[in-house]
Amino acid sequence: MSKTNHPVWLITGCSTGFGRELALRIVQRGWKLVVTARNLEQVSEIAEMDKENVLALTLDVTKPAQIDAAVKAAMEKFGRIDVLVNNAGYGYQSSIEEGDEAEIRAQFDTNVFGLFALTRAVLPVMRAQKSGHILNITSMAGLIGFPGSGYYAASKHAVEGWSDTLRAEVGPLGIQVTCVEPGPFRTDWAGRSLKQTPSKIADYAETVGARLAGTKARSGNQAGDPVRASDIMIELTQKPQAPRHIVLGAWGFDEVTRMLQVRLEEISGQKDLSLSADYPTG
């Protein structure tokens, strides 16, 4: 991760959830931290815990000027950035057919384009250091599409595919890339970071409608512990060779591995047809 024993972390979306828990764990270790949120007041008390090692900044990843200012302030304060955690983002649920154009675009601005922009701003720093680790908080929805979550899944799938290319480009330069793919976690995601367009089409009642209602109902009872998840993320940054994927939580792990097995079987089952698409050899 870094040649220093006091790595500098920059974390987005620290007002609640994974971002906040991870920030608190970094402070407890006495490491250096740039803690950010759209509303500075929501993270100012984290900075008060260790004024020497923590810098709190306003950062809306959809605003390029704030991105540039945050990276500049981090470098002026600490002189390096060792770990970038792209955590800022939120959920949006609807049927594909009933998706609201403005909501879809707004979600992509945060979950995808904002993440891309911040990473581009940090990469020159990490390239100069010849070291760094980028943690992209995606979701198991970045690997599986569920009814009612098509546009959210699309945003996370986009980050997953982009991360494959990012890893291929910056890996030889000493920069690691990991996508963190949580299943259900007790972060109040459904209560504070989820928007919905209710389905009014009867044909979707048992798929989309049931999922939208169930997401809200299960909030607060998820098996995943965000504190344990934060410790895992920290552990990953200490590895000489970190994994490209880490699925968090038992249910998420089981669902993702099952889906990948089914997908591989389906692709393998069409091998003859797949190979027949090439020009004949000889």
Tokens found for residue 29: 């270790």
Is 1 strand, coil or helix? coil
Active site annotation includes 204: no
Instruction: Please spell the DSSP secondary structure of 100-150, one letter per residue.
Output: -HHHHHHHHIIIIIIHHHHHHHHHHHHHHHT-EEEEEE--GGGT---TTBH
SS3 per residue for 39-61: CHHHCHHHHHHCCCCEEEEECCC
Instruction: Label residues 207-216 b or e (16+ Cβ within 10 Å = b).
Output: ebbebbeebe
Is 91 strand, coil or helix? strand
Question: Which residue is catalytic, options 92, 152, 204, 279?
Answer: 152
Active-site residue list: 152
